Amino acid sequence: MAFKEALQSGKFTVTAEVGPLKGTDTTEVLEVAELLRGKVDGVNVTDQQSAVMRLGSLVTCHLLIQKGLDPIFQMTCRDRNRIALQSDLLNAHVLGIKNVLAITGDYPTLGDHPDAKAVYDIDSVQLVWTINRMNQGYDLAGNELQGKTDFFVGAVVTPITDTEAAFELQLIKMEKKIEAGARFFQTQAVYDVDAFARFMKRAEGFGVPILAGIIPLKSVGMARYMNKNVAGVFVPEHLIEEMSKAEDKAQRGLEIAARLIKDLKDLCQGVHIMAIGWEKKVPEILELAGLA
């Protein structure tokens, strides 16, 4: 079952993430594809993740299709103007890619080419609108396409914030993305189930499927780093303490991820596992969570 069909059927949907490497060697991506095939409903392919130059999302999605997976083509607004974004969407459709996730993208100053010029010609809400306009058979300038696209369009939301104003702003942005045509959402990493439940109580009225983000903890240092440096990520102190007491911290991180999936299962429509270098451990996380 493809990603869209799985999500719309009411099945608890599982997606994972693949980050292309810096270079032309696709061996690791193809190895991960083999491990994920039949175990997840879709695979996100990041688009120059963290503003670091890598192999592109478009060609990597094509490779995953050849391996029998249903990719989710991430598109950031950072690196391309509206002409290039629309052209890549046409390219993606011709290559058989059916799902697109529209995101703003990190600033170049955070990546390995800090002097690169950011584009941000349109924002993520406008990109969602553009994709849906192309699904209707027109480009952003109103010109009719010779063959329209047919994408299942998604966006992102941060469900847990440090202020009430930021929380309300996320809901406002989410509603704007839905009005622009977003049909599913993936969230920033969730570690606080109660806080996520509060978000879902507000968001469920939008009637759009939401996949909770899961990032397995590798160490105490990673947890504290994310708390300090990654917007929208809050690892509770009790989880940090649990990690610090574990003899095998890596294994405990996998167990915590699986436990979070179990706890979130009745709150949302699925999970999106962002393993960040641990892609080959996704099947183990799913087994621990009872989703193998």
Q: How confident is the model at residue 218, as a pLDDT? A: 95
pLDDT of 254 higher than 90:
yes
The total number of structural domains that make up the chain: 1
- 64 pLDDT band, cuts 50/70/90, is very high
- Residue 30, pLDDT score: 95
Is the per-residue pLDDT at 279 higher than 90?
yes
Pairwise CA distance, residues 203 & 159, whole Å: 9
pLDDT value of position 75: 97
**Rounded Cα distance, 205 and 208, in Å:** 8
What's the per-residue H, E or C state across the chain?
CCHHHHHHHCCCEEEEEECCCCCCCCHHHHHHHHHHCCCCCEEEECCCHHHCCCCCHHHHHHHHHHCCCCEEEEEECCCCCHHHHHHHHHHHHHCCCCEEEEECCCCHHHCCCCCCCCCCCCCHHHHHHHHHHHHCCECCCCCECCCCCCCEEEEEECCCCCCHHHHHHHHHHHHHHHHHCCCEEEEEECCCHHHHHHHHHHHHHHCCCEEEEECCCCCHHHHHHHHHHCCCCCCCHHHHHHHHHCCCHHHHHHHHHHHHHHHHCCCCCEEEECCCCCHHHHHHHHHHCCCC
Give pLDDT, residue 232: 87
The domain containing residue 173 runs over which residues?
3-288
Whole-number Å distance between alpha carbons of 107 and 124: 14
Q: What is the pLDDT, as a whole number, of residue 60?
A: 97
- Confidence class for position 292, pLDDT limits 50, 70, 90: confident
Whether 256 contacts 192, CB under 8 Å: no
User: pTM of the entire structure?
Assistant: 0.95
Query: Is residue 292 classed exposed, middle or buried when 0-12, 13-18 and 19+ CB atoms within 10 A define those classes?
Result: exposed
The pLDDT tens digits of the residues spanning 218-249 come to: 999 999 999 998 888 999 999 999 999 999 99
Residues 152-161: what's their mean pLDDT?
Answer: 96
Residue 96 sits in a domain of what CATH number?
3.20.20.220
pLDDT for position 142? 96
Q: What is the mean pLDDT of the chain?
A: 96
pLDDT tens sequence across 120-151: 999 999 999 999 999 999 999 999 999 999 99
pLDDT score recorded for residue 50: 87
